[in-house]
């Protein structure tokens, strides 16, 4: 460590110039950038050379290097010491510079290892692919005759299956087109039939509605006639009762007057004039009562006859109104049956059409399913035929170019040597990265811990600021 901390003559890190020590998978510039620092690092931070071996010697402190010392000696007097603030600031600045440089050196070493590993993996994959290709070509040449025979047989079988499937598919497509045309014609015919039956239903329903309206009018006429008959019967009863009451009233009045006249005759008054007047009045009243009774008794038969005639007329009107009711009911029932039959015929025709069309659609669906299955068979047969042709073409090409075997064998040998070299270089880079990790561990941990502590301190200060601000 003492030798590492000694300053160099020119104050800068010494770079390696020997190309033989640079890994083959890295350029010289990339190799020299690993751990490179344009300025000397303070004590405790070392830059590791690209060989992965002993770290290169670096100057310990910037103040002791040649160029900064000469500049400082020109600016400051020899007897002037830096102030405590300047010393503290310089120490903090050096600490952060050292930590950042340590992280940078470790990241560069790790990146070099990752790139070397990726290059080695790619070279290894290519090497394995060439080995497999060589084995595949040798196997093809060894089995060439059997491959030709096998692939020719596959072609014949695939072509036969393909031709049969294509012919069947063509027939199925024709059947589907025929069935679809039949379905269209069926739909057109069913539509015409439905229109015709719908017209019949409309006509039957119109007749039914007309008969219903006619029956309603006849029923209203009958109801009116029956109400009139009831009214006439009530008027007959009340009229006869009124006539009989008039007779009875006249009879009672006549009886009363006769009794009064008889009483006057039994007890004549001493006053002759008054007696004569009273007797005359009673006689006149009796004559009027007799006439009134006679007229009432004579009016009763006439009233009964008139009322009977009215009743007969009312009964005749009822009979006339009842006469067409039965025939109207029968006609309406017949029209109702006709309309129901027309509706049933239409419904049955619709159902039959739906059933026929559904059956035809199912047949079309089955044919389309068969067409899809045949399309799958055709695709598989085509793939089989293409694969057989491709394998036959590949075998013929490999058979026609046997020189490729020697080329692949030579290439594989070269790749073996290159992989061995790359593996050694990768091991050197990994050892170098491990060395950098160990050499910069303390500096990196201190730097990261300082940053984390600073972040925590800032958070605490912000929390306290918010608390006191509230």
Select the more confidently predicted residue: 80 or 133: 133
Q: How far apart are the first and last CA of the chain?
A: 55
- Evaluate whether 381 touches 165 at the Cβ level (below 8 Å): yes
| pLDDT for res 167 | 95
**What's the whole-number average pLDDT of the chain?**
77
- Residue 79 pLDDT > 50: no
Select the more confidently predicted residue: 351 or 212: 351
| pLDDT for res 284 | 86
- Residue 359 pLDDT > 90: yes
What residues contact residue 14 under an 8 Å CB cut-off, 6+ apart? 8, 56, 57
| pLDDT for res 17 | 34
| pLDDT for res 91 | 58
The string of pLDDT tens digits covering residues 30-49 is: 444 444 444 443 333 343 33
3-state helix, strand and coil shares in percent for the chain, rounded to the nearest 5? 85, 0, 15
| pLDDT for res 50 | 38
| pLDDT for res 452 | 78
- Kindly indicate the confidence band of residue 90, based on its pLDDT and cuts at 50, 70 and 90: low
Phi and psi torsions of 446, nearest 5°: -65, -40
- Evaluate whether 307 touches 240 at the Cβ level (below 8 Å): yes
Query: Between the CA of residue 92 and those of 87, 97, 98, 99, 451, what are the distances in Å?
Result: 9, 9, 10, 11, 12
Q: What is the pTM of this model?
A: 0.43
Select the more confidently predicted residue: 174 or 235: 174
What residues contact residue 52 under an 8 Å CB cut-off, 6+ apart? 428, 429, 430, 431, 432, 435
The string of pLDDT tens digits covering residues 3-20 is: 333 333 333 333 333 333
The string of pLDDT tens digits covering residues 199-215 is: 999 998 888 888 888 88
| pLDDT for res 86 | 56
- Residues in the chain, overall count: 470
- Residue 233 pLDDT > 70: yes
DSSP state of 268: -
Angle (nearest 5°) at CA 92 between 88 and 93 = 115
Instruction: Provide mean pLDDT across the span 287-297.
Output: 84
| pLDDT for res 149 | 93
Query: Between the CA of residue 290 and those of 142, 250, 287, 370, 454, what are the distances in Å?
Result: 161, 8, 5, 118, 148
- Kindly indicate the confidence band of residue 325, based on its pLDDT and cuts at 50, 70 and 90: confident
Select the more confidently predicted residue: 51 or 246: 246
Select the more confidently predicted residue: 78 or 259: 259
- Evaluate whether 207 touches 292 at the Cβ level (below 8 Å): no
Cα-based torsion angle of the residue sequence 138, 141, 144, 145 in order, rounded to the nearest 10 degrees: -120
Select the more confidently predicted residue: 320 or 146: 146
The string of pLDDT tens digits covering residues 418-447 is: 888 888 888 888 888 788 777 776 666 766
What residues contact residue 387 under an 8 Å CB cut-off, 6+ apart? 154
Query: Between the CA of residue 377 and those of 85, 150, 158, 176, 182, what are the distances in Å?
Result: 89, 21, 10, 18, 28
CA 466/CA 159 separation, integer angstroms: 84
| pLDDT for res 94 | 54
Domain borders along the chain are: 19-70+83-142+404-469, 147-400
- Kindly indicate the confidence band of residue 219, based on its pLDDT and cuts at 50, 70 and 90: confident
Q: State the CB neighbour count (10 A cutoff) for residue 280.
A: 10
- Residue 344 pLDDT > 90: yes
What residues contact residue 56 under an 8 Å CB cut-off, 6+ apart? 13, 14, 16, 46, 47, 48, 49
Angle (nearest 5°) at CA 213 between 212 and 214 = 90
CATH class belonging to 147-400: mainly alpha
| pLDDT for res 45 | 36
Select the more confidently predicted residue: 7 or 239: 239
| pLDDT for res 10 | 37
| pLDDT for res 84 | 62
| pLDDT for res 312 | 83
The string of pLDDT tens digits covering residues 395-412 is: 999 988 988 888 988 999
Tell me, letter by letter, the H, E, C secondary structure of 162-196: HHHHHHHHHHHHHHHHHHHHHHHHHHHHHHHHHHH
| pLDDT for res 433 | 79
Instruction: Provide mean pLDDT across the span 208-223.
Output: 83
């Amino acid at each position: 460590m003492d030798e590492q901390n000694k300053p160099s003559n020119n104050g800068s890190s010494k770079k390696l110039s020997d190309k033989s020590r640079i890994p083959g998978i890295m350029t010289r510039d990339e190799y020299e950038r690993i751990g490179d620092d344009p300025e000397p690092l303070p004590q405790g931070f070392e830059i590791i050379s690209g060989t992965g071996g002993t770290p290169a010697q670096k100057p310990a402190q910037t103040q002791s290097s040649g160029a900064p010392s000469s500049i400082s000696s020109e600016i400051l007097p020899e007897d002037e010491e830096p102030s405590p603030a300047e010393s503290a600031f310089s120490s903090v600045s050096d600490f952060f510079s050292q930590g950042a440089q340590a992280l940078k050196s470790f990241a560069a070493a790790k990146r070099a290892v990752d790139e070397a590993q990726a290059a080695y993996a790619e070279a290894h994959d290519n090497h394995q692919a060439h080995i497999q290709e060589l084995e595949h070509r040798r196997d093809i040449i060894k089995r060439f005759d059997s491959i030709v025979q096998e692939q020719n047989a596959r072609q014949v079988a695939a072509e036969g299956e393909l031709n049969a499937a294509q012919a069947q598919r063509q027939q199925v497509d024709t059947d589907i087109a025929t069935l679809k045309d039949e379905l269209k014609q069926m739909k057109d015919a069913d539509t015409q039939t439905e229109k015709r039956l719908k017209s019949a239903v409309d006509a039957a329903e119109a007749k039914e509605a007309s008969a219903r309206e006619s029956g309603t009018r006849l029923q209203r006429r009958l109801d009116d006639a029956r109400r009139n008959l009831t009214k006439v019967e009530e008027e007959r009863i009340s009229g006869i009762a009124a006539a009989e009451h008039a007779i009875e009233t006249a009879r009672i009045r006549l009886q009363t007057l006769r009794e009064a006249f008889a009483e006057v005759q039994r007890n004549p008054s001493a006053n002759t004039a008054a007696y004569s007047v009273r007797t005359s009045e009673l006689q006149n009243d009796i004559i009027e009562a007799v006439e009134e009774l006679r007229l009432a008794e004579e009016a009763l038969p006439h009233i009964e006859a008139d009322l009977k005639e009215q009743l007969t007329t009312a009964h005749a009107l009822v009979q006339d109104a009842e006469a067409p009711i039965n025939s109207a009911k029968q006609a309406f029932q017949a029209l109702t049956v006709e309309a129901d039959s027309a509706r049933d015929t239409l419904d049955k025709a619709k159902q039959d059409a739906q059933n026929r069309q559904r059956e035809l659609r199912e047949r079309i669906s089955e044919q389309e399913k068969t067409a899809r299955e045949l399309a799958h068979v055709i695709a598989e047969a085509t793939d089989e035929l293409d694969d057989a042709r491709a394998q036959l073409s590949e075998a013929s090409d490999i058979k026609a170019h046997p020189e490729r075997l020697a080329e692949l064998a030579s290439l594989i040998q070269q790749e073996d040597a290159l992989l061995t070299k790359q593996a050694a270089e990768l091991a050197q880079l990994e050892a170098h990265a491990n060395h950098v990790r160990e050499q910069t561990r303390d500096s990196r941990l201190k730097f990261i811990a300082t940053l984390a502590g600073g972040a925590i301190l800032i958070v605490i200060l912000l929390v306290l600021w918010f608390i006191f601000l509230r």
